[in-house]
Amino acid sequence: MVLPALSILDQSTIVSGRGPGEAIRETLEMARLADRLGYARYWLAEHHNSQSHAGSAPEILIAAIAATTRRIRVGSAGVMLPHYSALKVAEQFRALEAIAPGRIDLGLGRAPGSDGRTAFALNPNAAQAADLFPQQVRDLLGWLGDGLPENHPFRAVRASPEVETAPEVWILGSSDYGAQVAAFFGLPYCFASFITDGRGAEEALAIYREGFRELRGRPAHAAVAVYALAAETRAEAERLFAPRALWRLFRDRGVFPPFPTAEEAEAYPYTEEERARVARMRERAIIGTAAEVRERLAALAAELGVQEVAVLTPCHDPAARARSLTLLAEGFGLSPARPLAAE
C-alpha cells in the first residue's frame, strides 16, 4: 500500500467554554507536536468575523510556528488574496522565508473566508476583487521571483526582504476555478474536500492534471484536505465525531457557533431529519482506529490521484486531538524528529 504524505490543516477552532486566545495557543502547541511527530506540513486557515474560528491572520501564526519548530513546513491554507495587496503578501512571505528558509508554504484562496459585509470591510473594492484573482496571482509570483511583465506599472518595485529562498506557492479551492488557476500557473493544488464533503473533488483534480503547464521544472502536484479523526476505538472516534456533526448542522443553517462538547452533542434535541443527516455524515466521515483511518486516507488518495493528504481534526478536548495526531503519525509510519542535545 502506497501512503500519501500526511499534513495538517488547522482552523484554530474556538470551542464551547473556552475563548479564542486559547484556540490560538492550542494551534501553536499542536504545531510543535506535529513537528516532533514527523508531519510534512502544518497549514493555517483564514477566517474573519467568526465565532467558530480564531485564525484570522495565518501569516502571524506562521511566524510564531516557524520560529518554534525545526523541520516541518509551515504555511497558509490559505491567504484569501482578494482582500489584500499582492505586494504586501509577497513581502510578508519573504519575511517568513527569512525566519525559516525553505520551510514556508503560501497557499492562496479566492473565497472571502467570511460574509460579504466583512469582505467589504477588509477591501472596499471587494465586488471586483475576486475577478482579479488570476492577475493578483501573476503579480505575486512576479514579486516572488518570476518577474513582472515588461509593461507592468510596478515592474520597478521590488518585494523585500530579498532573501535567498522563496515560499512554495499553492492554490487552494473547493471548485473547478482554483484547479484551473493552479494548472495555468503551474502550481501545486489542494482541493478542500472537507468543505464539499468530497463533491467535485474528482472533477477538479482531473481538470488540474489535464490543464497543468510545467513552467518551473516541476510536475503537477496535488493534495486533498479532509476531516479525519483517529482514536483508540471506533466507539471513541464516533463519540468525538458527534460534536463535529452537530456543528455541521449549525453551519448548514448559516450559523457558526463555538465547537460543542460531546455532552452538548449528546443532549441536543435532534429532529428525525437531523438524526438521519448525522447518520449519513457519520457513515461518510473518515473516523475510527488509526488503521481504519489510514486505510481510508490511502484509498482516497489513490482514488483521487493525489500525493498528499491534509487532515483537519477539530476536537473540544485538546488531549483527544493530540492523541488522534499521534495515532495517525504512528499508523503512517512517520519519522519523529530526534531531540536536540539541549532539549
Tens-digit pLDDT profile for residues 285-336: 999 999 999 999 999 999 999 999 999 999 999 999 999 999 999 999 998 8
Assess contact for 32 and 68: CB atoms under 8 A: yes
Mind listing the pLDDT tens digit for each residue in 121-140?
999 998 899 999 999 999 99
Distance, CA of 42 to CA of 120 (rounded, Å): 29
Mind listing the pLDDT tens digit for each residue in 249-285?
999 998 999 999 999 999 999 999 999 999 999 999 9
Q: What is the pLDDT of residue 338?
A: 59
338/337: higher pLDDT: 337
Q: What is the pLDDT of residue 133?
A: 96
pLDDT tier, 44 (very low <50, low <70, confident <90, very high otherwise): very high
pTM, rounded to two decimals? 0.95
Domains of the chain: 5-232+287-331 (3.20.20.30)
Distance, CA of 40 to CA of 309 (rounded, Å): 10
Q: What angle do CA 319, 227, 18 make, to 5 degrees?
A: 40
For 258, phi and psi rounded to 5 degrees?
-60, 155
Distance, CA of 166 to CA of 97 (rounded, Å): 6
Assess contact for 91 and 160: CB atoms under 8 A: yes
